[in-house]
């Protein structure tokens, strides 16, 4: 294990161009290519069946049918599939993913959407209601995240402003693009971001899409950002430092105050990714939990991402990106003035957008109210504590930090990916984490229903016992995670994942 991680650390330091060239050379060797194809193929064959459970059971289409099927027939098929798939998330078997799922709330979201499904915020003159919803979503979220009561009247350079996007990834992409474009105006040609290695993969995506070099700084043994190492990584090309509140893997909040102070001192941006925690931490703090400062109250925080479609309990497909000052926000906008199609502008990545989802997000915030968010957060924190206490009582596994609404565990005594597989056999769908090998459960309102946390604890105990007492069997995700952890060349695992995506598009 130690040798492996030393090897990995060394690899992390090797110039990625050398790794890519080595991989290309290796893959060009017919023997290696055939071996990889066989290895990937075998694993993917094993997965295909579970990925396409409806194959051969219901009609599938590779061309538009000559004659359309009746709406009743289709509704019955679609509702049938939804009914088949919903018990798993309704009964709380998923980590994260569905954050409310309450029947009455979902029904309410659906009614709002059905009244607004044709709304497109791109045409704000036709649907001024869409602008109203979005402006108010931004204002309410800014208020929740430390903008303060005078925000609406604050000078443009201090005002917390933002935009509604399609999800956390888009919020992050836009913020990184805004920093890149602002820095470009100041002559930075080779922009860099300095991030703890626990930041969401969306930052990697932003790095690739927008040509921003990403300096990933390993977190410390406490699993939060190593500010000293981040400081050492800053150069004159650095445009932004990133902190998570909290990070996806462990649910831990990075030291935002220190990172933001470092950013301010270096006159660069500080983005706080609160996609996951933005709608939990403010309420948890009010409930007396130990929540460090993480939002716009902290001087030096210049942007944030926060997801309405997670703990904001909105329908899937919305998030908010916030900025300190209008000038920074303007760098995310897109305008074109010489297009034969007319004058064109859009605030976010998409052109046409689903205004119905913004209406639903607005309705979720206004109907839930502060009282609703406080009550929901209380239940989530209590449930997390219950599960954490159970994990602490199991000597074979180890809790990774004191997160408020996440339970992450690793093990020095057994293969946690096998525990993940055993839990999978019992219906659980948890997240497998990397470097170090670990598993997490992101606690949502689904887990606060009577008996769900208790069922998880019992199943976890049984899963741990099963792994302890029996040798590994073939199949499951353990070998795939194992492979990703040990494959010396990262691009080879990337190839495997691309083939997995191909399978998703197979009819």
Ligand X SMILES: Cc1ncc(COP(=O)(O)O)c(C=O)c1O
Bond preceding residue 174 cis, omega within 30 of 0:
no
What is the separation of C-alpha 275 from the centre of its chain, rounded to a whole number of angstroms? 7
> DSSP 3-state helix, strand, coil percentages of the chain (rounded to 5)?
50, 10, 40
Minimal distance, residue 420 CB to ligand X, in Å: 18
Minimal distance, residue 289 CB to ligand X, in Å: 18
- The token pair at 20 is 């890519």
307 contributes a contact to ligand X by CB under 6 A: yes
Nearer to ligand X, 250 or 296 (CB): 250
**330: closest CA among 192, 212, 159, 200?**
159
Nearer to ligand X, 223 or 248 (CB): 248
Query: Which residue carries 């932003």 as its tokens?
Result: 206
Pairing relationship of beta strands 334-336 and 344-346 according to DSSP bridges: antiparallel
Q: Is 463 exposed, middle or buried (0-12, 13-18, 19+ CB in 10 A)?
A: buried
Contacts to ligand X from residues 316-345, by CB under 6 A: 319
Nearer to ligand X, 390 or 441 (CB): 441
Q: What is the dihedral of CA 54, 59, 63, 66, to 10 degrees?
A: -170
Minimal distance, residue 309 CB to ligand X, in Å: 6
Minimal distance, residue 306 CB to ligand X, in Å: 9
CB-nearest residue to ligand X: 168
Bond preceding residue 396 cis, omega within 30 of 0:
no
Nearer to ligand X, 182 or 200 (CB): 200
Minimal distance, residue 275 CB to ligand X, in Å: 3
**481: closest CA among 501, 496, 471?**
496
Minimal distance, residue 200 CB to ligand X, in Å: 3
3-state class (DSSP) for residue 407: strand
Q: What is the dihedral of CA 280, 282, 288, 291, to 10 degrees?
A: 90
354 contributes a contact to ligand X by CB under 6 A: no
Q: How far apart are alpha carbons 87 and 165 in whole angstroms?
A: 29
Q: Report whether 385 contacts 402 (CB < 8 A).
A: no
Query: What's phi and psi for 37, nearest 5 deg?
Result: -55, -45
Contacts to ligand X from residues 234-293, by CB under 6 A: 244, 248, 273, 275-276
Q: How far apart are alpha carbons 360 and 59 in whole angstroms?
A: 32
Q: How far apart are alpha carbons 197 and 230 in whole angstroms?
A: 11
Nearer to ligand X, 253 or 423 (CB): 253
Question: Site mask, ligand X, residues 145-184, x = CB under 6 A?
Answer: ----------------------xxx---------------
Minimal distance, residue 381 CB to ligand X, in Å: 18
Q: Report whether 272 contacts 299 (CB < 8 A).
A: no
Minimal distance, residue 272 CB to ligand X, in Å: 10
Residues 6+ apart with CB under 8 A from 409: 391, 397, 398, 399, 400, 416, 438, 439, 440
Nearer to ligand X, 273 or 422 (CB): 273
Contacts to ligand X from residues 408-467, by CB under 6 A: none
Minimal distance, residue 58 CB to ligand X, in Å: 28
Nearer to ligand X, 169 or 238 (CB): 169
Minimal distance, residue 308 CB to ligand X, in Å: 10
Pairing relationship of beta strands 192-196 and 238-244 according to DSSP bridges: parallel
**135: closest CA among 127, 408, 262?**
127
Minimal distance, residue 269 CB to ligand X, in Å: 17
Q: How far apart are alpha carbons 409 and 430 in whole angstroms?
A: 11
Nearer to ligand X, 127 or 203 (CB): 203
The count of chain residues that interact with ligand X, using the rule CB under 6 A, is 12
Q: Report whether 253 contacts 294 (CB < 8 A).
A: yes
Minimal distance, residue 97 CB to ligand X, in Å: 9
Nearer to ligand X, 167 or 300 (CB): 167
Contacts to ligand X from residues 192-221, by CB under 6 A: 200, 202
Q: How far apart are alpha carbons 443 and 99 in whole angstroms?
A: 8
- The contact set with ligand X (CB under 6 A) reads 167-169, 200, 202, 244, 248, 273, 275-276, 307, 319
């Amino acid at each position: 294990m130690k040798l492996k991680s030393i090897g990995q650390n060394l690899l992390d330091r090797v110039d990625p161009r050398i790794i890519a060239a080595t991989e290309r050379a290796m893959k060009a060797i017919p023997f290696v290519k055939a071996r990889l194809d066989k290895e990937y193929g075998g694993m993917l064959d094993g997965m295909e069946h579970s990925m396409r459970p409806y194959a051969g059971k219901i009609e599938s289409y590779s061309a538009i049918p000559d004659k359309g099927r009746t709406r009743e027939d289709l509704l019955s098929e679609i509702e049938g599939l939804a009914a088949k798939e919903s018990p798993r998330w309704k009964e709380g078997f998923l980590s994260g993913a569905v954050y409310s799922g309450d029947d009455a709330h979902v029904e309410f979201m659906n009614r709002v959407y059905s009244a607004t499904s044709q709304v497109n915020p791109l045409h704000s003159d036709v649907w001024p209601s869409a602008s109203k919803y979005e402006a108010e979503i931004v204002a309410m979220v800014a208020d929740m995240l430390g903008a303060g009561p005078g925000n609406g009247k604050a000078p443009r350079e201090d005002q917390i402003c933002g935009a509604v996007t399609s999800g956390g990834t888009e919020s992050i992409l836009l913020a990184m693009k805004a920093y890149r474009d602002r820095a470009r105006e100041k002559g930075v040609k080779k922009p860099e971001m300095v991030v703890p290695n626990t930041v969401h993969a969306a930052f990697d995506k932003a790095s690739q899409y927008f040509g921003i070099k990403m300096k990933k700084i390993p977190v410390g043994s406490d699993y939060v950002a190593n500010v000293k190492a981040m400081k050492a990584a800053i150069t004159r090309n650095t445009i932004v430092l990133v902190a998570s509140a909290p990070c996806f893997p462990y649910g831990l909040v990075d030291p935002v105050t220190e990172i933001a102070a470092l950013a301010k001192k270096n006159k660069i941006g500080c983005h706080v990714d609160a996609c996951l925690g933005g709608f939990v931490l403010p309420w948890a703090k009010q409930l007396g939990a130990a929540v460090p400062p993480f939002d716009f109250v902290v001087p030096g925080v210049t942007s944030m991402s926060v997801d309405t479609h997670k703990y904001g309990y909105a329908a899937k497909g919305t998030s908010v990106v916030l900025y300190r000052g209008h000038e920074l926000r303007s760098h995310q906008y897109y305008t074109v003035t010489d297009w034969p199609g007319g004058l064109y502008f859009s605030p976010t990545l998409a052109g046409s957008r689903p205004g119905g989802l913004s209406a639903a997000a607005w309705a979720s915030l206004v109907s839930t109210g502060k009282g609703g968010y406080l009550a929901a957060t209380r239940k989530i924190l209590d449930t997390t504590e219950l599960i954490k206490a159970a994990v602490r009582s199991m000597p074979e596994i180890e809790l990774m930090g004191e997160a408020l609404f996440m339970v992450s565990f690793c093990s020095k005594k057994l293969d946690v990916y096998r525990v993940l597989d055993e839990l999978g056999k019992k219906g659980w769908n948890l997240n497998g984490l990397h470097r170090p090998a670990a598993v997490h459960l992101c606690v949502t309102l689904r887990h606060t229903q009577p008996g769900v946390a208790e069922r998880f604890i019992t199943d976890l105990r049984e899963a741990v016992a099963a792994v302890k007492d029996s040798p590994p069997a073939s199949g499951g995700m353990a070998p795939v995670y194992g492979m990703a952890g040990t494959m010396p060349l990262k691009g080879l695992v990337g190839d495997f994942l691309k083939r997995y995506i191909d399978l998703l598009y197979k009819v």
